[in-house]
């Protein structure tokens, strides 16, 4: 039997019910972990297998607003589960408007939206867990068809104008980069790294939703030809700057994880989402 050197070499992913689940599972398996994928309801009902002390990756909060009640229930259930370490995926949404500066881990969360309040509530439930690491992520652009990439592509394919914020800055995170970072953290948690901490991760370069949309259009035209019709328009958000750019130095200092550009791998992501959306249309 192949030995990875990880202690433990087992991981449990509590899923979000979207594209992130299988990506996390495959990413962890690729580096040698034995992985169990559990849905939120299944975990709340049955918990972890008796006698196991795996590393748990909790992605339940990444399911979207309609599933935040389930995400909170998962966090409550985690309080009574023995695990080697817990990596809880959270969001920049715990902060309100922060203009003109990067947000580090010492900043006090002040969510303005209901979604942000839900993200923070999940963090607060786990605040007393001594082996929990919380990873706040920049805006996730492709975890579901309702996320930015899917919305832009679906609107383009429908032949409609895409309306996007051209004011608020963020450092977005793709599923592939989120998996890279999460797997790297889990590897180090299984190799003696500190089991508790609060960390931020977002891409190395910032952008607005409009900047992102323009890049997506460029990728679509590289696939469909320069004559592909695509019209983008800026939302009227001049007085509503919701910029939230995360500072990620602590993750680098503790785990050695470097930031990447959200542009890396974007063409392949666009190809995969176009294939998925076209299958949905044909189906």
pLDDT surpassing 50 at residue 238: yes
pLDDT surpassing 50 at residue 1: no
**pLDDT for 283:** 54
pLDDT surpassing 80 at residue 31: yes
Position with higher pLDDT, 52 vs 127 = 127
DSSP code at position 207 = B
At 182-196, the pLDDT tens digits run 999 999 999 999 999
Residue 273 · residue 141 · CB < 8 Å = no
Q: Are strands 245-246 and 162-164 parallel, antiparallel or unpaired?
A: unpaired
Least confident of 80-94, 119-133, 140-154: 140-154
Cα 200 → chain centroid:
11
**pLDDT for 237:** 66
**CA angle in degrees (0–180, nearest 5) for 251-64-216:** 75
- Give the separation between CA 186 and CA 58, rounded to whole angstroms: 12
Position with higher pLDDT, 179 vs 224 = 179
Residue 208 · residue 167 · CB < 8 Å = yes
Residue pointed to by tokens 């715990």: 94
Quote the tokens at residue 111: 């969510």
Residue 118 · residue 75 · CB < 8 Å = no
**pLDDT for 86:** 98
**pLDDT for 66:** 80
- CATH 1.10.3720.10 assigned to domain 10-282? The reply is no
Torsion of CA 164, 170, 171, 177, to 10 degrees: -50
Mean pLDDT (the chain, rounded): 91
Instruction: Tell me the percentage of the chain whose pLDDT exceeds 70.
Output: 95
Per-residue burial over 239-258, b if 16 or more Cβ lie within 10 Å, else e, is eeebbbbbbbebbeeebebe
- Give the separation between CA 140 and CA 181, rounded to whole angstroms: 13
Q: Minimal CA–CA distance to 220: which of 153, 151, 161, 154?
A: 153
pLDDT surpassing 80 at residue 124: yes
Mean pLDDT of 214-238: 89
- Give the separation between CA 73 and CA 54, rounded to whole angstroms: 20
227: Cβ–Cβ under 8 A, 6 or more apart, which residues?
none
- Give the separation between CA 24 and CA 34, rounded to whole angstroms: 12
Predicted model pTM: 0.93
Mean pLDDT of 22-32: 97
Mean pLDDT of 48-62: 93
Give residue 76's pLDDT band: very low, low, confident or very high (50, 70, 90).
very high
Quote the tokens at residue 84: 């080697």
Whole-number CA gyration radius for the chain: 19
Least confident of 94-98, 157-161, 187-191: 94-98
pLDDT surpassing 60 at residue 43: yes
Residue 133 · residue 85 · CB < 8 Å = yes
For CA atoms 79, 17, 42, 84, give the dihedral sign: negative
129 phi and psi, to 5 degrees?
-80, 120
Give residue 50's pLDDT band: very low, low, confident or very high (50, 70, 90).
confident
- Give the separation between CA 20 and CA 143, rounded to whole angstroms: 6
Give residue 32's pLDDT band: very low, low, confident or very high (50, 70, 90).
very high
């Amino acid at each position: 039997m192949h030995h990875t050197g990880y202690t433990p070499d087992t991981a449990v992913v509590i899923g979000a019910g979207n594209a992130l689940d299988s990506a996390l599972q495959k990413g962890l398996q690729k580096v040698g972990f034995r992985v169990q994928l559990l849905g939120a309801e299944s975990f709340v009902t049955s918990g972890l297998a008796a006698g196991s002390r795996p590393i748990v990756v909790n992605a339940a909060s990444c399911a979207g607003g309609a599933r935040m009640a389930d995400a909170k229930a998962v966090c409550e259930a985690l309080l009574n589960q023995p695990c080697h370490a817990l990596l809880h995926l959270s969001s920049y949404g715990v902060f309100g408007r922060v203009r003109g500066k990067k947000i580090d881990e010492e900043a006090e969360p002040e969510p303005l939206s209901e979604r942000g309040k839900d993200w923070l509530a999940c963090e607060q439930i786990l605040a007393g867990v001594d082996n929990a690491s919380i990873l706040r992520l920049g805006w996730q652009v492709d975890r579901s068809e309702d996320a930015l990439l899917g919305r832009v592509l679906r609107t383009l394919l429908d032949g409609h104008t895409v309306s996007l914020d051209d004011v608020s800055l963020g450092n977005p995170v793709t599923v592939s980069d989120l998996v890279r970072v999460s797997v790297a953290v889990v590897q180090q948690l299984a190799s003696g790294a500190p089991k508790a901490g609060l960390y931020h991760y977002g891409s190395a370069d910032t952008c607005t939703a409009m900047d992102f949309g323009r890049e997506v259009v460029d990728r679509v035209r590289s696939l469909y030809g320069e004559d592909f019709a695509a019209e983008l328009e800026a939302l009227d958000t001049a007085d509503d700057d919701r910029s939230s750019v995360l500072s990620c130095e602590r993750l680098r200092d503790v785990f050695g994880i470097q930031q990447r550009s959200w542009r890396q791998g974007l063409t392949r992501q666009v190809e995969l989402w176009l294939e998925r959306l076209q299958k949905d249309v044909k189906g």
